[in-house]
Amino acid sequence: MVRPFLAAENKDIKTMTLADAQPQALDFECETGNYHTFCPISCVAWLYQKIEDSFFLVIGTKTCGYFLQNAMGVMIFAEPRYAMAELEEGDISAQLNDYEELKRLCVQIKRDRNPSVIVWIGTCTTEIIKMDLEGLAPRLEGELGIPIVVARANGLDYAFTQGEDTVLAAMAHRCPSNQAVLGESEKEERGNAITSLLNFGRKKEEVTADESEYKDHAPLVLFGSLPDPVVTQLTIELKKQGVKVSGWLPAKRFTELPVIEEGYYVAGVNPFLSRTATTLMRRRKCKLVGAPFPIGPDGTRAWIEKICTVLDIEPQGLEEREAKIWANLEDYLQLIRGKSVFFMGDNLLEVSLARFLIRCGMTCPEIGIPYMDKRYQAAELKLLEQTCQEMGVPLPRIVEKPDNYNQIQRIYDQNIDLVITGMAHANPLEARGISTKWSVEFTFAQIHGFSNARDILELVTRPMRRNNSLKDLGWEKLIKEEAKV
């Protein structure tokens, strides 16, 4: 049942005492409000760059095409590897042959680009007209000789980041079950060639030392699309603990998808990948490492510690590593310590970001989130509670599917310093004198791992630094007066 918001609860978060700030558990609510988020087909923007030998074909109406043009038009000169298959009236009314139309497009894609995989992205329209993409794909794949992965990343999902979740869940089925996919001789020849190339110019003792750095443990596969530098950073952090990463889903190339077999351990790096986690557990019989997500020094340390614990490895030096990162963030922490932050809900990163900012010294009265999978985010929620207790601040209310009208009333009542929100609400809030930050920026920024914590605070403090600059120029009073008008 939804608990009504009472005026008595509208006390300024900064004036609450420690006694007031210690509820027994997190308070979950649901307001069944509208979703104000991008369409999940926007996942094409970062996935086509991550998977270098792929081609994404979005199957939808002109509206989908307009969205892609606006969302990714700045990439036009990069010759992107995606296209739009527009459904006309004849397609929707079943007067045209879906198979022949898709075959014509895929033949052209193969001729012009010759990708290693074609990913069909379903949309709302393909869902509504019950277009059998999963039935068409295997037949066409056999004719073309190119793998076709079907992902229904449509606007019926809760958040735009879940588009990636749908694609990765579909690709999890395509991961090889064992290394016998290649002929033994071919596999050995290719392995020797790659090894020789990687070890060129290195002494034999150095090569042997690399292998000895890893401890004996069960295979570990990580899933989540991250920029290559972040992938390297997290892989190296685990290597320092003796943990060998067997592969990443997705890989840079579709032909290099990681081997996944029953009993392998898998760990996610983003809180919006619950469908992928479920697929890996149920379909591929993997064991999920239930860890917080590597966002912020605290989350990264907890993520590495949980992986080490599961693999029976004693973590070393993480406390000192985290302390060093926090020391380097002090200049930013001075700007936000004691401030309040409010999440309206957009990209499912809200809980992880709130936990990190609370550790930085902020307070967070409310975390709005479009969708909450309590099982997949269980470890993150537990760390959030622990962080609030250690910092002596109130536990935030977590509101699923928040009603934005009610949220704005609470923002006013609680005198919030910073609101992290979707692009749709940022300008209206700014016009009313409320400082905001686009949540979508955290989606595209490098925020994972120890060394990228500074990038998170760079984004969070930007509105505050801007306000301080305006205050110094004497414009703050003028802006507030205009906001009242």
The pLDDT of residue 73 = 60
The yes-or-no verdict on residue 67 having pLDDT over 50 is yes
Task: Examine the pLDDT at 484 and tell me if it is beyond 70.
Answer: no
Domain extents in the chain: 7-36+321-484, 40-157, 211-316
Query: Is the preceding omega at residue 396 within 30 degrees of 0, hence cis?
Result: no
Of 3.40.50.1980, 3.40.1160.10, 3.40.309.10, 3.40.50.2300, which CATH number belongs to 7-36+321-484? 3.40.50.1980
Give the pLDDT score at 1.
31
Q: Which residue has the tokens 């993520």?
A: 303
Per-residue pLDDT of 120-152, as tens digits, reads 999 998 888 888 999 999 999 999 999 999 999
Question: Which residue from 97, 91, 92 is spatially nearest to 140, judged by alpha carbons?
Answer: 97
Contacts 24+ apart (CB under 8 A), 474-477: none
Task: Report yes or no on whether pTM surpasses 0.95.
Answer: no
pLDDT tens readout for residues 302-324: 999 999 999 999 999 999 999 99
Distance CA 295, CA 298 (A): 8
User: What distances in angstroms separate CA 241 from CA 9, 212, 236, 245, 297, one per listed residue?
Assistant: 46, 12, 9, 11, 16
Residue with tokens 């229904």: 152
Which residue do the tokens 């032909």 mark?
A: 255
Q: What is the pLDDT of residues 208-257, one digit of tens each?
A: 445 668 999 999 999 999 999 999 999 999 999 999 999 999 999 999 99
* Residue 485 CA to its chain's centroid (Å): 39
Instruction: Measure the CA–CA gap between 23 and 357, rounded to whole angstroms.
Output: 19
Which letter, b or e, does each residue of 172-205 get, where b requires 16 or more Cβ atoms within 10 Å of its Cβ? Answer: beebeeeeeeeeeeeeeeeeeeeeeeeeeeeeee
Confidence of residue 69 (pLDDT cuts 50, 70, 90): confident
* Higher pLDDT among residues 196 and 433, named by residue: 433
Report which secondary-structure segment, H or E, holds 52.
Answer: none
> The tokens of 467 are what?
């306000």
CATH class of 211-316: alpha beta
Tell the CATH superfamily of the 40-157 domain. Nitrogenase molybdenum iron protein domain (3.40.50.1980)
- Contact residues for 439 (Cβ-Cβ < 8 A; gap 6+): 343, 344, 346, 347, 349, 350, 420, 421, 422
The residues pairing with 86 across neighbouring beta strands, listed in sequence order, are: 60
CB 80 within 8 A of CB 48: yes
Model confidence at 475: pLDDT above 70: no
The yes-or-no verdict on residue 259 having pLDDT over 90 is yes
Q: What is the pLDDT of residue 206?
A: 46
User: Cβ-count burial of 86 within 10 angstroms (0-12 exposed, 13-18 middle, 19+ buried)?
Assistant: middle
CB 121 within 8 A of CB 44: yes
